[in-house]
Amino acid sequence: MEDSYNKTAINGLDPKFKFEVIQAGGEGLSACYQCGTCTGGCPSVEDMDYTPRQIIRMVSFGMREKVLNATAPFICASCYLCQMRCPRDVKITDIMAAIKSISIKYSNSSGNTRGQAFYTSFNEIVYNLGRLFEPMLMLKATFRSKESFGYKIKYLTKSVPLGIEFIKHRKFSMKPKKVESIEEVQKIYENVRKMEAKE
């Protein structure tokens, strides 16, 4: 048994990963029959690197490295729509949250995964401006991640046409703007930090 576990691990899969996610609060994984209802209704799926259905499958297969590097759990808006609609009662939102928390711990020991880099950069910008400034998010998150320099350049180059479309359709401005009562936003962050420190 130990031999077969090692062999699978060598192939890049970790059969224990599923249990790690379940232990972190992600219940119901094994009941998924891949119908895709979760993905079909997800409001954030367009921005995810893997769909919720794929994430569930990847966790079941033990694709630890890929899942912990994914941005999808960090992009998940925790709206619970998928979880409410799942015909198999898979706790998808909780699974996303569990992966996020494992990913943050994992990043702390191995450098910023893409998801962690996105999460940290997003919070940094909202803390300083009170709102998001997308061009800054893209640059900060890309350069903060532990990906190779070549990957970062390739990723940014690939994102340029999308950025141009956003600018053309006035989906984001080219200048960062701070909200008026920034102190209120910062107070919320500080309170959350205090609560987290107590846990």
Q: Are 72 and 49 in contact (CB under 8 A)?
A: yes
- Of residues 17-76, which lie at the interface with ligand SF4 (CB under 6 A)? 32-38, 41-44, 52-53, 56, 76
Q: Which residues contact 128 (CB under 8 A, 6 or more apart)?
A: 178, 182
Of the candidates 57, 26, 52, 29, the residue with the CA atom closest to the CA atom of residue 41: 52
- Number of shown-chain residues binding ligand SF4 (CB under 6 A): 28
- Which one of 58, 59, 63, 92 is in contact with ligand SF4 (CB under 6 A)? 92
Residue 96 in the binding site for ligand SF4 (CB under 6 A): yes
Residue 144 in the binding site for ligand SF4 (CB under 6 A): no
Question: Based on CB atoms, which residue is closest to ligand SF4, 33 or 149?
Answer: 33
Smallest separation (angstroms) from ligand SF4 to the CB of 92: 5
Of the candidates 69, 62, 81, the residue with the CA atom closest to the CA atom of residue 16: 62
Residue 117 in the binding site for ligand SF4 (CB under 6 A): no
Residue 82 in the binding site for ligand SF4 (CB under 6 A): yes
Smallest separation (angstroms) from ligand SF4 to the CB of 150: 31
Q: Which residues of 96-129 are buried (b: 16+ CB within 10 A; e: fewer)?
A: bbbbbebbbebbeeeebbbbbbbbbbbebbbeeb
User: Collapsing DSSP states into helix, strand and coil, what is residue 51?
Assistant: coil
Which residues contribute to the site for ligand SF4 (CB under 6 A)? 32-38, 41-44, 52-53, 56, 76-82, 86-88, 90, 92-93, 96
